[in-house]
Amino acid sequence: MTITREDSRTYGYADLPRLMGLMTGDEKHGPAATSTLDVLWVLYDRVLRVDPEGMDDPVRDRFLLSKGHGPMAYYAVLAAKGFLPVDWLAGFGSYDSPLGHHPDRVLVPGAEIGSGSLGHGLPIAVGTALGLRAQGLDEPRVWVLVGDAELDEGSNHEAIAFAGPAGLERLHTVVVDNSSASHSRPGGIAARFEAAGWSAVTVDGRDHEALYDAFTAPHPGRPHVVVARVEPKHS
């Protein structure tokens, strides 16, 4: 991996639009990506205990991007935080680029799972939390980012129903709600998790302080979900 001179600088939130602008193509799922931008930045900038030097550390936090069909914001944040070279971004989606339209954990530094098949990330996160518990690793936290439309998939319902009674306290889910779900009602996302024994908070998905407070809220003995509401998807 070659790190360019530009990659050695420090990037902030204000740089993310430019970094995302380096990625082009007809199938880049722009609205899906931008809906996650603020959630991803707050997580990687202030919450997640993982860095480029510790990607294999067994006590690192695990972040799983289930909403993998719009990964531009994810790639931009990973580049800003030094996980991958900025000069990779311009090749996004090309034949020989490691940055595909769906992240590949084998090719993308920092990616914990290959994703894009909607409905799989939360069940994988439940399994990851169980695996860490079985190994006696109680320090790492597991975070998974899903889209509201993914909750139409039955696999998510089973994961939600299991995680609460199992007391998976180290499991955290962020649902980015851009009103894409076919089967939902206003306020129903948080209620669905709460009914299964989760701690739940609903916040403005563009408000960084509100997101941080929600991400760090205590939830002893229970998994935690943050529903991050953003503007409705129009395209």
How many angstroms from the chain centroid is the CA of residue 209?
A: 18
CB count in 10 Å sphere of residue 60: 17
Q: Can you list the positions of beta strands (E) in 118-220?
A: 142-147, 171-177, 199-204
pLDDT score, position 205: 97
> Looking at the predicted structure, is the pLDDT value of residue 164 above 70?
yes
Q: Is 89 exposed, middle or buried (0-12, 13-18, 19+ CB in 10 A)?
A: buried
Full-model pTM = 0.91
**Which residue, among 116, 126, 171, has the nearest Cα to 147 in the 3D structure?**
116
pLDDT digits (tens, 9 = 90+) for 166-187: 999 999 999 999 887 666 666 6
Q: Calculate the average pLDDT of the chain.
A: 90
Q: What amino acid occupies position 186?
A: P
Task: Tell which phi-psi region holds residue 167, choosing left (phi > 0), alpha (psi between -120 and 50) or beta.
Answer: left
pLDDT score, position 115: 83
> Looking at the predicted structure, is the pLDDT value of residue 76 above 70?
yes
pLDDT digits (tens, 9 = 90+) for 12-60: 999 999 999 999 865 555 667 789 999 999 999 999 999 999 999 999 9
CA distance 72 to 21: 9
Return the residue matching tokens 């320090």: 139
pLDDT score, position 206: 97
Contact by Cβ (8 Å): 214, 176: no
Average pLDDT, stretch 121-145? 97
> Looking at the predicted structure, is the pLDDT value of residue 134 above 90?
yes
